[in-house]
Amino acid sequence: MSGKPNLTLLRRSFRHGMATMFRERGFWTTLGSLLGVVLVVQLLVLSLAGIDVADQVLRKNAALQVDIQEGATDNAIQQLYGAFQELPYVSSVTYVTRDKAYEHARAENPELISFIEKAQLSNPFPDSVVVSLRSMDDTSAFLSFAQSAQWSKIVDPASLSRAGDRETEMRDMQRLLMIGFALVLGFFVFVIFVLLFVLIDLVRRRCLARKEEVLVERLSGAVDLAILLPFAVEGTLLLLGAVLCSALLLCGLLYALYFRFPQPSLLLSADIQSALFPILTLSLPIVLAAELVFSPLLAFIGAWIGLRPLLKKNLLAH
């Protein structure tokens, strides 16, 4: 029996909230304000996902180039190649001949190759071994192994020095990513509070605009929940509308960026793009569903915070 009054109260509150939402002035202004805040929230979530993906790519794609000294025998190179493959923290090893490096440079930097050919210079690129580590954290262990005495006549020490410099640069980038993640996360929490304050202000303004109506309900013995629910329904519907509109805008923005920058190197690296798009495909529907689920809760909290002090202090009677 107790379920029927509650269900009746919910239906009445929903109809009342729907009717008053469009009746009040400033509907589109309020919706626009919520839309702007929700869009910022979704952009921040997208930024957090992008920073996390960039950090993962930076950790996983720790490839180092080890140059081979001139005069190293094929047997010695094979021993080095096999030793690198047996290391537990190495994911792959690729032997790159000087001719292959020359052709790769032709594709990546044709101006350099054109200069070399015009000057009739010999191939400046050495044979090398490109080692991909399982994690950037394994760089120090690998460099210590490559610098051991048994490889001193095979490995070019200058390439190991460059690899150490690259590790330093990658760690600096990782620190910047961590700082960026912390800043974006802090701003995300701040924007959530801003959204809550917008809802509280919405309830306060609408409550004062309908103070006679609320006062009649109060005098007729209506409980606080019966007065609160219509405002919570208004906030929920406005917030849901803002979430859906901002999701459409965000999808349109991503769609436009994807076709505006079809080449990954112009906007994102190929590794980051290949890792980011599957995550976005999976996470965006989850984020949208979470926003739709938490919108009623956030609207109810905002309505309760905004309305309860006015009811307690009987400000509606003045």
Phi, psi of 129 (to 5 degrees): -120, 120
What gap in Å lies between CA 296 and CA 293, rounded to an integer?
7
How far from chain centre, in Å, is Cα 49? 2
- With a pLDDT cut of 90, the percent of the chain lying above it is 6
Contact criterion met (CB below 8 Å) for 228 and 304: yes
* pLDDT tens digits, one per residue of 264-281: 444 455 555 666 666 666
Give the whole-angstrom CA distance, residue 33 versus residue 16: 23
Query: 69-155 — its CATH code?
Result: 3.30.70.3040
Mean pLDDT for the stretch of residues 284-290: 79
Those residues with Cβ within 8 angstroms of residue 279's Cβ, 6 or more apart along the chain or in another chain: 49, 53
Q: Return the closest-CA partner of residue 223 out of 151, 308, 126.
A: 308
Q: In the chain, list all ranges with CATH 3.30.70.3040.
A: 69-155
Higher pLDDT, 42 or 209: 42
The residues pairing with 65 across neighbouring beta strands, listed in sequence order, are 130
Q: How far is CA 179 from CA 72, 82, 190, 224, in A?
A: 44, 39, 17, 45
Q: What angle do CA 235, 237, 241 make, to 5 degrees?
A: 115
User: In angstroms, rounded to a whole number, what is the distance separating the alpha carbons of residues 260 and 250?
Assistant: 15
Does pTM top 0.85 for this prediction? Answer: no
Q: What CA–CA distance (Å, rounded) separates 178 from 171?
A: 10
pLDDT at 182 over 90: yes
Mean predicted confidence (pLDDT) in 166-189: 87
The predicted structure's pLDDT at residue 265: 44
Rounded Cα distance between 157 and 164, Å, is: 11
Give the pLDDT of residue 1.
Answer: 42
pLDDT, average across residues 274-291? 72
The pLDDT mean for the chain works out to 79
Average pLDDT over residues 13-40: 76
Would you state the structure tokens that stand for residue 4, as one six-digit string? 């029927």
Q: What is the mean pLDDT of the segment spanning 154-166?
A: 86
pLDDT higher than threshold 80 for residue 224:
no
262 compared with 82, residue with greater pLDDT: 82
pLDDT of amino acid 86: 92
Higher per-residue confidence, 219 vs 301: 301
Chain segment 89-133, per-residue pLDDT in tens: 888 888 988 889 888 888 878 888 888 888 888 888 888 988 888
Residue 190 confidence (pLDDT): 93
Distance, in Å, from the CA atom of 116 to the CA atom of 121, rounded to the nearest integer, reads: 5
Answer yes or no: are the C-beta atoms of 229 and 10 closer than 8 Å.
yes
